[in-house]
Chains A and B, each alone.
Chain A
């Protein structure tokens, strides 16, 4: 009488599933590493022009102040009167201030938008 051997299903299942494992194509890892290098280059390129910090704000303030100062000096030598009493000088100040504020505001909004999109990209996945 032949005794039927107990079947080790767990072992069999593992063995069977081994045959279903797929193998990556030859250049798969190169493809992945190439894309990673590209992504890395893109990120460093983005970050090089997207950061706006306190020194940038200070620079804008200094530029606009120096423009206003130059206009004041020109105005003083041309009209020989206190620039603050000259309506044309006040108009020029307001114009320069307005342009600088708009530029600064746009940069702040753009910076905020870039930060928001990079945060979205970096959503934790674990």
Chain B
């Protein structure tokens, strides 16, 4: 697959623009998902993904084939999304950072269960996570990226990614426990 992608990149660099459609079709859903984790709006996410594809096409000659195309491209999507929210002054995640730290513990409390009457969905949980945490678990579980690859996409240190991943996983596990508990009862 990687070899195949390198061949397509070569074709695009030689002037075959249509060959780039392979990357658009392959990575469009994930690009929109990544952008959505940052901007929390599907229409904006599509605009960001579109802009990222154009950037990737224009900068394809700078892609070093040492890394995966996906890692390189997701990095473009992430930075394009950050630029977008800075330009459009979109506020940070509605959830306070401290609140997020304790979300996994609060999820399991009875009060929380009754209060929300299990209307919680995984979407709302992911949406309530800080945007980088949501992005990390997305890349980790959906793209099966390694911590090193995620660190490269976000331009973060390995330890920072590990901490944030651990926290996000704890939140998801709490949600899972809650879900299983209610399925059983």
Contacts and interface: CB of A to CB of B under 8 A. Distances in A.
Interface of B: 17-18, 20-21, 24-25, 28-30, 32-33, 36, 42, 45-46, 49-50, 53-55, 57-59, 61-64, 67, 72, 75-76, 79, 122-123, 126, 137-138, 141-142, 169, 172-173, 175-177, 180
A121 interface: yes
10 contacts: A9-B176, A13-B169, A13-B173, A17-B172, A22-B29, A25-B46, A29-B28, A36-B17, A123-B59, A125-B79
Contact of A20 (B62, B76, B122): B122
Q: Tell me whether chain A's interface is mostly helix, strand or loop, or mixed.
A: helix
Interface of A: 7, 9, 12-14, 16-25, 28-29, 31-33, 35-37, 39-40, 43, 121-126
A16 B38 CA distance: 19
B113 to A, nearest CB: 18
Q: Tell me whether chain B's interface is mostly helix, strand or loop, or mixed.
A: helix
Given A7-B180, A32-B50, A125 B59 contact: yes
Given A22-B33, A32-B50, A17 B138 contact: yes
A14 B141 contact: yes
Which 7 residue pairs are nearest across A and B when measured between Cβ atoms? A124-B62, A24-B28, A16-B122, A17-B141, A14-B141, A29-B24, A126-B72
A42 B128 CA distance: 41
A22 B122 contact: no
Contacts of B126: 17, 20
A22 B42 contact: yes
B62 A36 contact: no
B81 to A, nearest CB: 13
A109 to B, nearest CB: 25
Contacts of A12: 172, 176
Contact of A22 (B20, B32, B63, B79): B32
Given A22-B36, A125-B76, A40 B62 contact: no
Contact of A126 (B21, B28, B62, B122): B62
Given A16-B176, A17-B172, A33-B18, 8 more contacts: A12-B172, A12-B176, A13-B137, A13-B173, A17-B138, A36-B20, A125-B72, A126-B72
Contact of A122 (B25, B62, B122, B172): B62
